[in-house]
Structure 1
Amino acid sequence: MRSRPFTYLFYIQYLGTGYHGWQKQTGVKTIQGTLEKAFRFILRHEDSIILGASRTDAGVSCNRGAFELFLKHEMPFDLLDAVNAILPSDIRLLEVQPAPSHFNIIQDVAYKEYHYNFAFGEKFHPFAAANLAYFVGYPDIGLMKLGAKLFQGKHNFQSYCSIDKVSDDYFREIIEADIIQHANAGLGLIPKQAYTFIVKGKGFLRYQIRKMITVLIELGLGNLSLEEIAQSLKKPELQNIPIHAPANGLVLEKVEFIKKVDSLGL
């Protein structure tokens, strides 16, 4: 990126249900592709590069993500407001600041926090489904909370990733894993039996979090045991979790960096 020495850090939020994920792809609508089109229109040139801190999958939303914009020349005006004015209503830029040359949006991530929102019991109003998944049955939330704690620490998550994911390193460290009542449970269209699975870590495998919540739901319904979950982390080669939960429940809640960009000499 040295040929484009002016770097800007943007924070972003978006509703992912209408997009085929973050990463630009031919023939489908993506968050990155939509951003690049908007920046091209406002800047009136294509000489810019966008690099995201996290590549969310199709249908996954984001509350406070981040990306870098690399330019050859200094940003000439309030790009935030100008781009927001032409972006679709399901994407919003939150703030922007210059980033120092030594800042790396991938390597300098302290952790990413994901929320998986779900509900059970009587099926809720369809308008709530943008960021809330529905599961049939009445799982034991207390048991699910115990299961979530098994994921904390550094484990081999080969059983919890896409079957086409081939990697030399399936180990990921989970800083926090917990299930809490949904912040808006019982309010508006959110049912009382709504919960949030909170997961924090520096990085995740594809479908990892959605397979983790699938396993926890099965645990809560009595179809799996705590011992089986623990075993899946010790001997992942023995099984692969075949189903991942729906994308609409998953939200990239926030990305935190090792140091605040403001403190890096700006």
Structure 2
Amino acid sequence: MTKNEEHTWKLTLAWDGTGFHGWQVQPGHLTIQGTLAGAIERITGERVLPQGSGRTDTGVHARGQVASFTLAAPIPPANLHRALNRALPETIRILSAEHAPSGFHARHSACAKTYEYRIFRGEICPPWLSRFVYALNWPLQVDAMRQAAALVLGEHDFTSFAASDPDLATRNAEPAAAEESLHGKSAGVRVIYASSWHEERHEDGDLLLYRIRGNGFLHHMVRNLVGTFLDAGRGHIAPEEVRAILERRSRSAAGPTAPARGLFLDHVEYPPASSPEP
């Protein structure tokens, strides 16, 4: 590439969100986006604002967030990858750095995202896990939680599971590109492709994992779903009540918001046309 030619970049990142005020730049707060932008500027001398596949809240972690931006600096991908990991704090790691086709956008080009929520099941949560799980030792009917989770599959209006806050009009989503096909429908409509609970046994204690894959997610949607499924697991609601909660389209109908520390943005998917340039 020539010195003055701009290239689109695609980064895949992982981070421990404990010490950050979420992804999006906010005045007076330490954020992932702001920290990444600062590292890019120190390396290249160019001031850019990396665009993420979606926003994550304070305390939420990521194993596969994607960010995009353009640079004029003629830096090889391997060099940028190495330099960013040297410039960033150890709580943020760049997993890959590559060129992407012109017009690629981490959010608008995405077609699906997967989140995972982790619940620790045991008497004592080890300190090395406590930042990354919701430690919960209540008796739970996991089969009831599985039944409830299955009821959100397909296309639904998830307004009941969206955060009730004055910023909802702009934060109302971490929309993927597939959201464009929902034009003319309620802003709360999303399509969920997978929604399931799994149990894992570990030496440190058992984990209960919720995985959900969809074309887009509302603000707090996954954490509100988890809180509602936990209500079903505790016997506070019947699993089939999830249908009525969806139909109510009211945040007050759903369960509590599960803590941020158990949530991970697992990975983001893109159509083949969004693959990196050879």
| 8 Å Cα contact 2:162/2:251 also seen in 1 | no
SS of the counterpart of 1:75?
A: coil
| 8 Å Cα contact 1:118/1:133 also seen in 2 | yes
Q: Percent identity?
A: 28
Give 1:223-234 correspondences, 5 Å limit: 223-234=236-247
Distance in structure 2 (CA, Å) of the matches to 1:242 and 1:14: 28
Give 1:87-236 correspondences, 5 Å limit: 87-164=88-165, 165-166=168-169, 169-182=187-200, 185-187=201-203, 189=204, 191-192=205-206, 194-236=207-249
TM-superposed deviation, 1:124: 1.5
- Counterpart for residue 181 of structure 2: none
Distance in structure 2 (CA, Å) of the matches to 1:180 and 1:161: 24
- Counterpart for residue 244 of structure 1: 257
TM-score by length of 1: 0.90
How many residues of Structure 1 are paired with residues of Structure 2 in the alignment?
257
TM-superposed deviation, 1:240: 4.0
| 8 Å Cα contact 1:48/1:72 also seen in 2 | no
Give 1:19-58 correspondences, 5 Å limit: 19-43=20-44, 45-58=45-58
Distance in structure 2 (CA, Å) of the matches to 1:260 and 1:105: 13
Note the alpha carbon deviations across 1:196-237, whole angstroms, 9 max, x for none: 000001210001000100011110100011232110112224
CA 239–48 in structure 1, closer or farther in 2 if over 3 Å, else same? closer
TM-score by length of 2: 0.86
Q: Which runs of 5+ in 2 are unaligned?
A: 173-185
CA 73–125 in structure 1, closer or farther in 2 if over 3 Å, else same? closer
TM-superposed deviation, 1:103: 2.3
Distance in structure 2 (CA, Å) of the matches to 1:16 and 1:65: 12
Is 2:272 the partner of 1:256? no
RMSD: 2.0
Is 2:60 the partner of 1:72? no
TM-superposed deviation, 1:260: 6.4
Note the alpha carbon deviations across 1:108-131, whole angstroms, 9 max, x for none: 212100000002342322321121
- Counterpart for residue 176 of structure 2: none
Distance in structure 1 (CA, Å) of the matches to 2:222 and 2:33: 22
| 8 Å Cα contact 1:49/1:70 also seen in 2 | no
Worse overlay, 239-248 or 124-133: 239-248
SS of the counterpart of 2:217?
A: coil
Residue identity opposite 2:199 in structure 1? Q
- Counterpart for residue 177 of structure 2: none
| 8 Å Cα contact 1:47/1:71 also seen in 2 | no
Q: Which runs of 5+ in 1 are unaligned?
A: none
Residue identity opposite 1:6 in structure 2? H
Note the alpha carbon deviations across 1:138-172, whole angstroms, 9 max, x for none: 11011111110001111111111111124651111
